[in-house]
Amino acid sequence: MKISKLTNINLMPITESLKRDYVFVDNELQDSIQKLNLFKHVKQYRKSKRSGYSVETTIYTLLIWVFLREDSIKMFFEKCLSVFFKGGKDVLYGTMRDEGINWRQISLSTAKEIYVQNNLAFEQETAFVVDDTIKKRSGKKVEGISSHFEHSEGRNVRKRKN
């Protein structure tokens, strides 16, 4: 959690409020989602979906998983997820891997929303974050693909640099 020295703006209000008694993660998460207009950003940067579980429902479930600090979605599903989400763990994994959702743009627009709402333009501290994530692509004749040694996986992989 980062608290600005100049204006005491708490950049992680959910984790701070969860330390209090009788505060539940789903209520705090819902309030934060509404405040940040998260689902507006999700709708803006994803392809339309014809059937199945809504992207909003699965993203909400994934966010709860993050705050409950379970090791994996599989463990999360076995312990408590099946009570309120009938889609199963495969739906959540599918949402995370869905290339029709522009996760970077959602992340950027949500960060911008936090920036604007907290009036961070006048802060003295600044940071520059470089995202050099390699996007995995399969297929033999995919444009922009190169084969290189991925040190984090310990093997040669075919990937595209974004």
Q: What percent of the chain has pLDDT over 70?
A: 66
Nearest to 68 by CA among 78, 54, 53: 78
pLDDT tens-digit readout, 82-103: 666 777 778 888 888 888 888 8
Q: Is residue 7 assigned to a domain?
A: no
Q: Are both 86 and 115 inside the same structural domain?
A: yes
CA distance 43 to 65: 21
pLDDT band at 113 (very low <50, low <70, confident <90, very high): confident
Q: Are both 162 and 109 inside the same structural domain?
A: no
pLDDT band at 9 (very low <50, low <70, confident <90, very high): very low
Residue 50 reports pLDDT greater than 80: no
Question: Higher model confidence: residue 3 or residue 87?
Answer: 87
Q: Are both 74 and 150 inside the same structural domain?
A: no
Average pLDDT, integer, range 14-25? 59
Q: Is residue 91 assigned to a domain?
A: yes
Helices (H) and strands (E) in the chain, counts: 8, 3
Q: Is residue 1 assigned to a domain?
A: no
Which residues constitute the domain of residue 150?
Answer: 133-162
Q: Are both 64 and 125 inside the same structural domain?
A: yes
Predicted pLDDT of residue 14: 52
